Structure 1
Amino acid sequence: MRRPARFVSRFISGEVEAPPYLMLALSAALIGGFSVYGMVAGGHTSSVLQAVTARTGFAIDEIRVAGNVETSEVDIFDRVGLDGYTSLIGFDAEEARKRIESLPWIQSVEVRKVYPATLEVAVTERQPFAIWQRGSLLSLVEEDGSVIAPLAGMQHVTLPLVVGSGAAEAAAGFVAKVAEVPGLASRVRGYVRIAERRWDLHLHSGLTVKLPEKDVEAALRELVELDREHDLLTRDVEVVDMRFANQVVVKLSPDAASARAVSMKERLGKHYRPAERRT
């Protein structure tokens, strides 16, 4: 400490002249120190860093988005949260990732900084499996039954339509069973869940097939076999009820029932009794 002590002693006695602008430098250092302290104490470090670095060539001026089909780039840009002077250095990519991931269609997202001024956003979207109808509400759901978003437009109308409480969660397994039966799935307009226990098939022709709670695969095979032998699914029939073991109950359409009644009356004559009077 001898040399610093001697230098201070000589400076005080006037033997050493102060460098020019020393007081100006000391004042600037003092002001700068108080400014840094106030910035840190007030929690403004990030905003100051953003402002300084954005004006020195690191302001984000390009966002590259990849992987989005259902999600618009406008929605993604909105979640990124740029204000025109956002610096890539101080930008929080993890927070932006969380905001983008909150969009309905987004399954996962990766946000990457590419210096000096580019942001890359790569998204993976959820895959719709079916349209789920509850009353008048139509929603797109994933294979596990998770709701993605309300149905909008005609883009997904070719997906299976599943109807009723519990239908979304149970649809994947049942739709797969129907798909295994040759020529049946293409005729199905809707898969209706009944009391969360069993299914009805509503065909494009207007026919309803009531399936049993158990042994669904066997009932489906029997249905196709009946159609192959008797053209059951193309006849003037409203309902095919397969809920009962060892029997199939068929309900004719009103026109077909009237025609059959006339035919039976001609055949049986005075022995004919209307259906409502028969047991």
Structure 2
Amino acid sequence: MFALKGRGATKIRTESAAQVADVDDLFVLPRPLRRVVRFLVSLATGRIHIPAHVGTVSAVAFYAATGLYGMSLGGHTQVVAQATTSAAGFAIEDVTVSGNSETSEIEVLQLLGLDGTTSLVALDINAAREKLSHLPWVEDVEVRKVYPKTIAVTLKERKAFGIWQHGSELSLIEKNGSVIAPLRDNKFANLPLFVGRDAESAAASVDEDFAKWPEIRSRIKAFVRISGRRWDIHLDDGIIVKLPETGIDRALAMLSRLDAEQDLLQRDIAAVDLRLADRTTIQLTPDAATRRQVALDARTKALKKAGKQI
């Protein structure tokens, strides 16, 4: 193997070394910037074709994005969306309410806050449902959008079980004792009255305690809670029956038997005390007590007169 040496080889080596030195002196752009520079050079030299109206569309998009950003910062997005969709024909014009017996449609409309320009598209269903759920009679509520212009509201209302008297106030309560609303009219006058401390929470036990005695239950007008421990029941003819703290079933059985055998509840009495298991105490009305005292006095005089004659 042979290597050639001479002036030509020396010259080539000298030029190559100089080129390497020049490259080392050049500034090399980072890779991402090289792509940008190539794109700008191609754009300037006309090698990239730009479709017509790209500038106009870009300007519109830029101003639209700027406007949306400004609305977002200013909190006006909902207002603009509402106005836009209403103008497009989605303004709410009809509200249907079903399942309501005690809740008026006016209350529903007031809480929804509809003003004739409210947009169905922009309406917040969850917020509307939350507002309606706070109405006194509402147990559950469903709100649906029916396009293009209707809202459908379906209510499930609570059921009144009785009237609770607390102080001078009267409130309607559910069977579990939850207060529904103040009593405003005589519509619920036939419901039983629960009076006294904790009477509303103890009301749930009434159906169970009186289930076997419907004839007595049907005559009760008021359940009066005594010291948060027991009931006095007030019947429709004014008779008060004092029940024990425990053993209510036994006491009601005794009351039913006395009424069946002696027409106890048809007599002129004021109260029946069943609190003691071994005795029943009867309290007469004032008129009956007066008549009884007159009869006793007359009997006593007759006995004395008969004694003297003997």
What TM-score comes out, normalization by structure 2 length? 0.78
Larger Rg: 2
Equivalent residue letter for 1:8? A
Q: Aligned to 2:185, what secondary structure does the other structure show?
A: coil
Q: Aligned ranges for residues 1-279 of structure 1 at < 5 Å?
A: 5-10=41-46, 28-269=60-301
CA distance in 2, matches of 1:225, 1:27: 95
CA distance in 2, matches of 1:271, 1:194: 44
Against the structure 1 CA distance between its residues 211 and 33, is the aligned structure 2 distance closer, same or farther, given a 3 Å change threshold? Answer: closer
Equivalent residue letter for 1:157? A
Q: Is the contact between residue 236 and residue 256 of structure 1 (CA under 8 Å) also seen in structure 2? A: yes
User: Which stretch of the first structure deviates more once superposed, 215-224 or 110-119?
Assistant: 110-119
Against the structure 1 CA distance between its residues 39 and 244, is the aligned structure 2 distance closer, same or farther, given a 3 Å change threshold? Answer: same
Equivalent residue letter for 1:212? P
CA distance in 2, matches of 1:6, 1:124: 69
In structure 2, stretches of 5+ residues that fail to align are 1-34, 305-310
Equivalent residue letter for 1:207? I
Root-mean-square deviation (Å): 2.5
User: C-alpha displacement at 1:166, in angstroms?
Assistant: 0.9
User: C-alpha displacement at 1:30, in angstroms?
Assistant: 4.5
- The size of the alignment, in residue pairs, is 267
CA distance in 2, matches of 1:18, 1:71: 62
User: Which stretch of the first structure deviates more once superposed, 65-74 or 129-138?
Assistant: 129-138
User: Which stretch of the first structure deviates more once superposed, 198-207 or 142-151?
Assistant: 198-207
Percent same amino acid among aligned pairs? 44
In structure 1, stretches of 5+ residues that fail to align are 273-279
Q: Is the contact between residue 81 and residue 96 of structure 1 (CA under 8 Å) also seen in structure 2? A: no
Q: Aligned to 1:201, what secondary structure does the other structure show?
A: strand
User: C-alpha displacement at 1:123, in angstroms?
Assistant: 0.8
User: C-alpha displacement at 1:8, in angstroms?
Assistant: 2.9
What TM-score comes out, normalization by structure 1 length? 0.87
CA distance in 1, matches of 2:247, 2:51: 101
Q: Is the contact between residue 101 and residue 109 of structure 1 (CA under 8 Å) also seen in structure 2? A: yes
User: C-alpha displacement at 1:265, in angstroms?
Assistant: 2.4
Against the structure 1 CA distance between its residues 6 and 258, is the aligned structure 2 distance closer, same or farther, given a 3 Å change threshold? Answer: closer
What's the counterpart of residue 276 of structure 1?
none
User: C-alpha displacement at 1:179, in angstroms?
Assistant: 4.3
Deviation per CA, 1:106-164: give whole Å up to 9, x if none: 00101111222211111100011111111221110001000000112121111111111
CA distance in 1, matches of 2:249, 2:50: 103
Against the structure 1 CA distance between its residues 114 and 269, is the aligned structure 2 distance closer, same or farther, given a 3 Å change threshold? Answer: same
CA distance in 2, matches of 1:25, 1:264: 113
Against the structure 1 CA distance between its residues 8 and 43, is the aligned structure 2 distance closer, same or farther, given a 3 Å change threshold? Answer: farther
Deviation per CA, 1:15-66: give whole Å up to 9, x if none: x9996x8876665454434322212222222221111111111111111111
Against the structure 1 CA distance between its residues 185 and 22, is the aligned structure 2 distance closer, same or farther, given a 3 Å change threshold? Answer: closer
Against the structure 1 CA distance between its residues 159 and 24, is the aligned structure 2 distance closer, same or farther, given a 3 Å change threshold? Answer: same
CA distance in 2, matches of 1:182, 1:115: 52
Q: Is the contact between residue 133 and residue 139 of structure 1 (CA under 8 Å) also seen in structure 2? A: yes
Q: Is the contact between residue 105 and residue 148 of structure 1 (CA under 8 Å) also seen in structure 2? A: yes
